[in-house]
Amino acid sequence: MSAYPNATTTATATTDAESADPCCAAPLPVLGRDVTVPLVTGGEVTYAALDYAASAPALQRVWDDVAAYAPYYGSVHRGAGYLSQLSTDLFENSRLTVAEFLDCRDGDQVVFTRSTTDSLNLLAAAIPADCQVFVFETEHHASLLPWQDARVTYLNAPRTHAQAVATLERALAERDPYGPALVCVTGASNVTGELWPVKELAAAAHAHGARIVLDAAQLAPHHPVSVRELDVDWVAFSGHKLYAPFGSGVLAGRADWLQDADPYLAGGGASKKVARRADGGVDVEWHTTAARHEAGSPNVIGVYSIASACKALTEAGFDQLVARENHLIATVREGLAEVPEVKVLSLFGDHAPRVGVISFVVEGWNSSHFAAALSAEYGIGVRDGLFCAHPLVRTLLGSDPQSQGECGAPEAAPGEKSLNAIRVSFGAGTPDEHVERFVRAVKELVRDGARWKYRTEDGRCVPDRG
């Protein structure tokens, strides 16, 4: 039953044939699937959104659920009125939905934040003062950078799963055995899409008395994430990558460090009791629940959208979603393999399991120029650059710059003007036609070159309309 009157929930139907063959199942309905964009060469084309790793489009189910709730929007934890009570119930039920989606343990807390970056900065602010942190150089900046006030050990990029585990075990064996320690690791790379051996890394961490936090920003939209099965201490992810782009994120896991830390933000909602002292100051009793780190009026729309997305993905069935995505991955990888000038970036090799995130470079092209041509001439949206994972991309590319082409890399450092890559990413809402068009476009651009002139403007490669 819905938490508010007149609400509707749009389920995604599949035919018997689709159910029988997951690879042929229809993509989940998303907003923007019928948007057309102009081409610089003339005419319009349906936009192929292939930048899911940055922000995935909103699921139609999420949009419908939010629209149905919107007239009943009210303050959370603040009012006695009907809409306030209804919104509070919706907010707290969303917390339960996320805990179920992540298969959290009894006693785990689900804290709502703004994003994965916010979640990991919250945890960084909550770790004990003498905590040692271990993080691979391969991480996204959201999980690479928050720990700089702690004692951080940055680990070199591994080239196999076994090497990743061995590298971590070696580093943990050499640490101070009496202080707290934390390992931070991604579940799926935002650059290569490759899955990491999270369960094995968690076992290694715990064997050496350390805890582990999983950055699931790129994993949760593509694969089920079980806190219990992976045996991680915390997991963080963002709504905007989970088809819920309304500015919310999640940090879920063990409560003790969170309860012992000062509130992430001081203010209403985090405070349980505030009283003036005789000396003119104030005494504060802070909440020990998740509210301790959720000061201010919470983003109930964002939180509810995450819960809606969690339900939609669960109901669609991850087995079917993964099978269909693997079909799309094979289409892209097989197509790129037919172009000798294309080099796909990888840590673990061609046969490593991965999600729908693939980065590559093209011989004779600067990646910014190539990405601009895909957009302007084919209506295909990809990403170019270093993907907020600069150490990893530099490791994968080495020090040799690409050909300059007509446009340079945006905001590159001196001497590295053309050091960047192209990333194509997709997911549950991607039609087959989009990835097929992408493969055709890559082949045509490499074979025939761009049909338009391009120039650098404000650090970006754009069509020259002069």
Which sequence positions are flagged as catalytic?
388
429 and 30 Cβ atoms separated by less than 8 Å: yes
Among residues 465, 189, 220, 207, the alpha carbon closest in space to that of 348 is found at: 189
Our CA angle for 443, 447, 449, nearest 5°, is 105
Strands 234-238 and 211-215: parallel
SS3 content of the chain, % helix, strand, coil (to 5): 35, 20, 45
DSSP H helical ranges for 49-128: 60-69, 82-101, 116-126
Q: What are phi and psi of 238, to 5 degrees?
A: -115, 145
Radius of gyration for the alpha carbons in the chain, expressed in angstroms and rounded: 23
Within 10 A of 430 (CB to CB), how many other CB atoms are there? 25
Amino acid at 80: A
Among residues 83, 108, 121, 77, the alpha carbon closest in space to that of 269 is found at: 77
Residue 411 has, within 13 A of its CA and on its CB side, a CA count of 7
Amino acid at 256: D
Distance from C-alpha of 11 to C-alpha of 319, rounded to nearest angstrom? 17
Whose tokens are 């403007």? That residue is 457
Distance from C-alpha of 391 to C-alpha of 410, rounded to nearest angstrom? 17
Joined together, the tokens standing for residue 278 give: 């005789």
Within 10 A of 457 (CB to CB), how many other CB atoms are there? 11
**Residue 352 per-residue DSSP state:** S
Long-range pairs, 69-76, Cβ under 8 A, ≥24 = 69/3, 69/4, 69/7, 69/301, 69/304, 70/301, 72/4, 72/5, 73/300, 73/301, 75/297, 76/297, 76/298, 76/300
Residues in the chain: 466
Distance from C-alpha of 22 to C-alpha of 321, rounded to nearest angstrom? 7
DSSP per-residue letters across 244-311: --SS-EEEEE-SHHHHHSPPSS-STTTEEEEEE-TTS-EEEEE-SSGGGG--SS--HHHHHHHHHHHH
